[in-house]
Amino acid sequence: MNLKLKVPSIPIEGTISYEDWLKGRRYRRELSKLVAPGVIRRKRSSSDRRLKKLFNGERGLPFTPTEKL
Amino acid sequence: MDASKIKSALADITAEQDPTLKSLKMASLCSALWAKRGVQLVVVGGSAIEILTEGAYASGDLDLCHANKALLPMRERQEIMGMLGAKGGPRNWEVAGMFVDVLGPVESFARTPYRRVQGPYGEVQVMKAEDLLVERVLVSVYPAKNPAARECARELASVAVAGAVNMDWSEVLRVANLPEYRNVEECKVLVREVANELKIKSPFDSD
Protein backbone atom coordinates (compact mmCIF):
# COMPACT_ATOMS: atom_id res chain seq x y z
CA MET A 1 0.00 0.00 0.00
CA ASN A 2 1.22 3.44 -0.84
CA LEU A 3 1.32 5.31 2.46
CA LYS A 4 2.00 8.68 0.87
CA LEU A 5 -0.70 10.93 2.24
CA LYS A 6 -3.50 11.20 -0.29
CA VAL A 7 -6.13 12.99 1.76
CA PRO A 8 -6.39 15.93 4.15
CA SER A 9 -5.13 15.19 7.68
CA ILE A 10 -7.16 15.82 10.78
CA PRO A 11 -5.14 18.71 12.20
CA ILE A 12 -4.08 19.47 15.76
CA GLU A 13 -4.98 23.13 15.37
CA GLY A 14 -7.98 24.37 13.46
CA THR A 15 -11.03 22.64 12.08
CA ILE A 16 -11.20 20.08 9.32
CA SER A 17 -14.14 20.71 6.99
CA TYR A 18 -16.88 18.11 6.70
CA GLU A 19 -15.96 17.51 3.07
CA ASP A 20 -12.30 16.94 3.89
CA TRP A 21 -13.18 14.64 6.79
CA LEU A 22 -15.42 12.63 4.45
CA LYS A 23 -12.65 12.46 1.83
CA GLY A 24 -10.29 10.90 4.38
CA ARG A 25 -12.62 8.20 5.64
CA ARG A 26 -11.54 5.45 3.27
CA TYR A 27 -7.84 6.09 3.76
CA ARG A 28 -8.19 6.10 7.54
CA ARG A 29 -10.13 2.83 7.38
CA GLU A 30 -7.51 1.26 5.12
CA LEU A 31 -4.73 2.28 7.50
CA SER A 32 -6.62 1.02 10.53
CA LYS A 33 -7.37 -2.31 8.93
CA LEU A 34 -3.71 -2.85 8.03
CA VAL A 35 -2.96 -3.22 11.75
CA ALA A 36 -6.31 -4.41 13.15
CA PRO A 37 -8.28 -6.29 10.49
CA GLY A 38 -12.02 -6.81 10.62
CA VAL A 39 -14.65 -5.36 12.90
CA ILE A 40 -13.12 -4.86 16.35
CA ARG A 41 -16.26 -3.67 18.11
CA ARG A 42 -16.32 -4.98 21.67
CA LYS A 43 -18.36 -8.14 22.08
CA ARG A 44 -20.03 -6.94 25.26
CA SER A 45 -20.34 -4.00 27.60
CA SER A 46 -22.58 -2.72 30.36
CA SER A 47 -24.81 -1.18 27.66
CA ASP A 48 -25.57 -4.50 25.97
CA ARG A 49 -29.18 -4.71 27.03
CA ARG A 50 -30.25 -1.40 25.54
CA LEU A 51 -27.98 -1.72 22.49
CA LYS A 52 -29.16 -5.18 21.52
CA LYS A 53 -32.76 -4.17 21.98
CA LEU A 54 -32.39 -1.21 19.63
CA PHE A 55 -30.10 -2.85 17.07
CA ASN A 56 -31.83 -6.21 16.62
CA GLY A 57 -29.44 -8.24 18.73
CA GLU A 58 -26.32 -6.34 17.61
CA ARG A 59 -24.37 -3.66 19.51
CA GLY A 60 -24.74 -1.04 16.80
CA LEU A 61 -25.43 -0.50 13.12
CA PRO A 62 -23.23 -2.48 10.70
CA PHE A 63 -20.14 -0.60 9.53
CA THR A 64 -20.07 0.62 5.94
CA PRO A 65 -17.69 -1.55 3.88
CA THR A 66 -14.37 0.11 3.09
CA GLU A 67 -15.02 0.15 -0.66
CA LYS A 68 -18.16 2.21 -0.10
CA LEU A 69 -16.49 4.87 2.03
CA MET B 1 -31.34 26.72 15.13
CA ASP B 2 -35.08 26.93 14.60
CA ALA B 3 -37.59 24.12 14.95
CA SER B 4 -37.76 23.37 11.23
CA LYS B 5 -33.97 23.01 10.99
CA ILE B 6 -33.96 20.70 14.01
CA LYS B 7 -36.73 18.63 12.46
CA SER B 8 -34.83 18.36 9.20
CA ALA B 9 -31.60 17.43 10.99
CA LEU B 10 -33.38 14.77 13.02
CA ALA B 11 -34.90 13.26 9.89
CA ASP B 12 -31.42 13.12 8.33
CA ILE B 13 -29.86 11.52 11.42
CA THR B 14 -32.71 9.03 11.85
CA ALA B 15 -32.36 7.88 8.24
CA GLU B 16 -28.55 7.65 8.41
CA GLN B 17 -27.42 4.01 8.38
CA ASP B 18 -23.66 4.58 8.50
CA PRO B 19 -22.89 4.39 12.23
CA THR B 20 -19.93 6.80 12.15
CA LEU B 21 -21.78 9.42 10.12
CA LYS B 22 -24.79 9.01 12.37
CA SER B 23 -22.64 9.66 15.45
CA LEU B 24 -20.88 12.64 13.91
CA LYS B 25 -24.16 14.18 12.77
CA MET B 26 -25.75 13.64 16.18
CA ALA B 27 -22.70 15.11 17.92
CA SER B 28 -22.91 18.08 15.58
CA LEU B 29 -26.57 18.70 16.38
CA CYS B 30 -26.20 18.18 20.15
CA SER B 31 -23.10 20.39 20.25
CA ALA B 32 -24.96 23.22 18.54
CA LEU B 33 -27.94 23.01 20.88
CA TRP B 34 -25.94 22.66 24.09
CA ALA B 35 -23.57 25.46 23.05
CA LYS B 36 -26.55 27.82 22.95
CA ARG B 37 -26.86 27.18 26.70
CA GLY B 38 -23.16 27.73 27.31
CA VAL B 39 -22.00 24.11 27.41
CA GLN B 40 -19.25 22.92 25.08
CA LEU B 41 -19.55 19.22 24.40
CA VAL B 42 -16.72 16.93 23.35
CA VAL B 43 -17.00 13.45 21.86
CA VAL B 44 -15.09 10.92 23.96
CA GLY B 45 -14.43 7.18 24.07
CA GLY B 46 -15.09 4.80 21.23
CA SER B 47 -17.03 7.34 19.17
CA ALA B 48 -14.08 9.74 19.29
CA ILE B 49 -11.72 7.00 18.18
CA GLU B 50 -14.11 6.04 15.38
CA ILE B 51 -14.24 9.62 14.07
CA LEU B 52 -10.42 9.68 14.01
CA THR B 53 -9.74 6.17 12.71
CA GLU B 54 -12.82 4.68 10.95
CA GLY B 55 -11.65 1.58 12.75
CA ALA B 56 -14.96 -0.33 13.00
CA TYR B 57 -14.78 -0.15 16.77
CA ALA B 58 -17.61 1.97 18.17
CA SER B 59 -20.96 0.65 19.30
CA GLY B 60 -24.33 2.33 18.88
CA ASP B 61 -23.94 4.89 21.61
CA LEU B 62 -22.38 8.32 21.45
CA ASP B 63 -20.47 9.43 24.55
CA LEU B 64 -20.19 13.15 25.17
CA CYS B 65 -18.59 15.12 28.00
CA HIS B 66 -18.53 18.77 29.00
CA ALA B 67 -15.41 20.50 27.72
CA ASN B 68 -15.97 23.62 29.81
CA LYS B 69 -17.04 24.18 33.38
CA ALA B 70 -20.64 25.06 32.59
CA LEU B 71 -23.22 22.60 33.81
CA LEU B 72 -26.86 22.39 32.94
CA PRO B 73 -29.57 21.61 35.46
CA MET B 74 -31.41 18.39 34.73
CA ARG B 75 -34.48 20.33 33.69
CA GLU B 76 -32.54 22.14 30.95
CA ARG B 77 -30.88 18.94 29.76
CA GLN B 78 -34.29 17.35 29.44
CA GLU B 79 -35.60 20.39 27.60
CA ILE B 80 -32.79 20.32 25.05
CA MET B 81 -33.03 16.62 24.42
CA GLY B 82 -36.81 16.91 24.41
CA MET B 83 -36.44 19.21 21.41
CA LEU B 84 -34.95 16.18 19.66
CA GLY B 85 -37.77 13.88 20.67
CA ALA B 86 -35.39 11.98 22.94
CA LYS B 87 -36.58 9.35 25.39
CA GLY B 88 -35.04 8.80 28.83
CA GLY B 89 -32.51 10.99 30.60
CA PRO B 90 -31.17 12.83 32.46
CA ARG B 91 -27.71 11.52 31.42
CA ASN B 92 -28.55 9.13 28.61
CA TRP B 93 -31.19 9.24 25.98
CA GLU B 94 -32.47 7.24 23.05
CA VAL B 95 -32.81 9.54 20.08
CA ALA B 96 -33.00 9.16 16.30
CA GLY B 97 -32.16 5.46 16.40
CA MET B 98 -29.14 5.63 18.68
CA PHE B 99 -28.14 6.39 22.25
CA VAL B 100 -26.57 9.60 23.48
CA ASP B 101 -24.80 9.73 26.86
CA VAL B 102 -23.67 13.00 28.45
CA LEU B 103 -21.22 11.85 31.08
CA GLY B 104 -20.12 15.04 32.86
CA PRO B 105 -16.78 16.87 32.88
CA VAL B 106 -14.15 15.61 30.46
CA GLU B 107 -10.93 14.02 31.79
CA SER B 108 -8.03 15.27 29.71
CA PHE B 109 -4.33 15.70 30.40
CA ALA B 110 -2.92 16.68 27.00
CA ARG B 111 -2.13 20.36 26.36
CA THR B 112 -3.08 20.06 22.72
CA PRO B 113 -6.48 21.32 21.56
CA TYR B 114 -9.49 19.12 21.03
CA ARG B 115 -9.63 17.96 17.43
CA ARG B 116 -12.37 19.76 15.55
CA VAL B 117 -14.51 18.51 12.70
CA GLN B 118 -17.04 20.76 11.03
CA GLY B 119 -20.23 18.72 11.13
CA PRO B 120 -23.34 19.37 9.07
CA TYR B 121 -25.12 21.16 11.96
CA GLY B 122 -22.18 22.70 13.75
CA GLU B 123 -18.62 22.08 14.82
CA VAL B 124 -17.80 18.88 16.68
CA GLN B 125 -15.05 18.74 19.27
CA VAL B 126 -13.35 15.38 19.51
CA MET B 127 -11.18 14.17 22.38
CA LYS B 128 -7.47 14.87 21.94
CA ALA B 129 -5.74 12.08 20.06
CA GLU B 130 -2.83 12.17 22.55
CA ASP B 131 -5.13 11.44 25.50
CA LEU B 132 -6.97 8.74 23.58
CA LEU B 133 -3.80 6.91 22.59
CA VAL B 134 -2.20 6.91 26.04
CA GLU B 135 -5.47 5.87 27.66
CA ARG B 136 -6.10 3.00 25.23
CA VAL B 137 -2.57 1.73 25.68
CA LEU B 138 -3.08 1.76 29.45
CA VAL B 139 -6.39 -0.10 29.21
CA SER B 140 -4.82 -2.61 26.82
CA VAL B 141 -2.41 -3.67 29.56
CA TYR B 142 -3.92 -2.80 32.95
CA PRO B 143 -5.59 -4.23 34.96
CA ALA B 144 -5.37 -7.18 32.55
CA LYS B 145 -4.52 -7.66 28.90
CA ASN B 146 -7.37 -6.34 26.79
CA PRO B 147 -7.09 -7.32 23.11
CA ALA B 148 -9.93 -5.01 21.95
CA ALA B 149 -8.31 -1.98 23.57
CA ARG B 150 -4.97 -2.98 22.08
CA GLU B 151 -6.40 -3.21 18.55
CA CYS B 152 -8.04 0.13 19.07
CA ALA B 153 -4.75 1.69 20.21
CA ARG B 154 -2.99 0.15 17.21
CA GLU B 155 -5.53 1.70 14.83
CA LEU B 156 -5.09 5.12 16.36
CA ALA B 157 -1.32 4.73 16.19
CA SER B 158 -1.54 3.69 12.53
CA VAL B 159 -3.51 6.73 11.34
CA ALA B 160 -1.20 8.94 13.38
CA VAL B 161 2.16 7.56 12.21
CA ALA B 162 0.89 7.72 8.63
CA GLY B 163 -0.11 11.36 9.11
CA ALA B 164 -3.86 10.98 8.52
CA VAL B 165 -4.40 12.28 12.05
CA ASN B 166 -1.84 14.75 13.29
CA MET B 167 -0.42 13.76 16.67
CA ASP B 168 1.89 15.70 18.99
CA TRP B 169 4.26 12.86 19.87
CA SER B 170 6.14 14.80 22.54
CA GLU B 171 2.82 15.42 24.21
CA VAL B 172 2.03 11.69 24.04
CA LEU B 173 5.23 11.02 25.97
CA ARG B 174 4.57 13.80 28.48
CA VAL B 175 1.05 12.51 29.19
CA ALA B 176 2.22 8.90 29.36
CA ASN B 177 4.83 9.95 31.91
CA LEU B 178 2.25 11.49 34.25
CA PRO B 179 1.41 9.68 37.49
CA GLU B 180 -2.07 9.10 36.08
CA TYR B 181 -0.62 6.80 33.39
CA ARG B 182 3.08 5.87 33.85
CA ASN B 183 3.05 3.89 30.60
CA VAL B 184 5.71 5.55 28.47
CA GLU B 185 7.40 2.27 27.53
CA GLU B 186 4.15 0.57 26.60
CA CYS B 187 3.27 3.52 24.35
CA LYS B 188 6.67 3.53 22.68
CA VAL B 189 6.56 -0.21 22.08
CA LEU B 190 3.09 -0.12 20.55
CA VAL B 191 3.83 2.84 18.28
CA ARG B 192 7.14 1.29 17.13
CA GLU B 193 5.41 -1.99 16.43
CA VAL B 194 2.76 -0.30 14.28
CA ALA B 195 5.30 1.90 12.50
CA ASN B 196 7.40 -1.17 11.68
CA GLU B 197 4.38 -2.97 10.25
CA LEU B 198 3.59 0.04 8.06
CA LYS B 199 7.27 0.41 7.15
CA ILE B 200 7.32 3.95 8.50
CA LYS B 201 9.92 5.36 10.86
CA SER B 202 8.60 5.50 14.41
CA PRO B 203 8.24 9.05 15.72
CA PHE B 204 10.00 7.81 18.85
CA ASP B 205 13.14 6.70 17.02
CA SER B 206 15.99 9.13 16.65
CA ASP B 207 18.01 9.25 13.43
Q: Tens of pLDDT along B51-62?
A: 999 998 888 899
Residue B53 or residue B205, greater confidence:
B53
Asked if A10 lies within 8 A of B22 by C-beta distance, the reply is no
Q: Which range among B45-54, B65-74, B82-91, B154-163 shows the weakest confidence by mean pLDDT?
A: B65-74
Q: Are B33 and B76 in contact (CB under 8 A)?
A: no
ipTM of the complex: 0.94
Contacting residues of B for A34, CB less than 8 Å apart: 158, 197-198
Q: Is the pLDDT of residue B207 over 80?
A: no
Residue (of B89, B19, B23) closest to A59 by Cα position: B19
pLDDT in tens, B79-104: 999 999 999 999 999 999 999 999 99
Whether residue B112 and residue A12 make contact (CB cut-off 8 A), yes or no, is: yes
Residues with Cβ within 8 Å of residue B159, at least 6 apart in sequence:
A28, A31, A32, B52, B53, B165
pLDDT at B1: 85
| Residues of chain B found within 8 Å of residue A59, distances taken between Cβ atoms | 59-60
Between CA B105 and CA B64 the distance in angstroms is 9
CA distance B44 to chain A (A): 16
Tell me the pLDDT band of A40, cut-offs 50, 70 and 90: confident
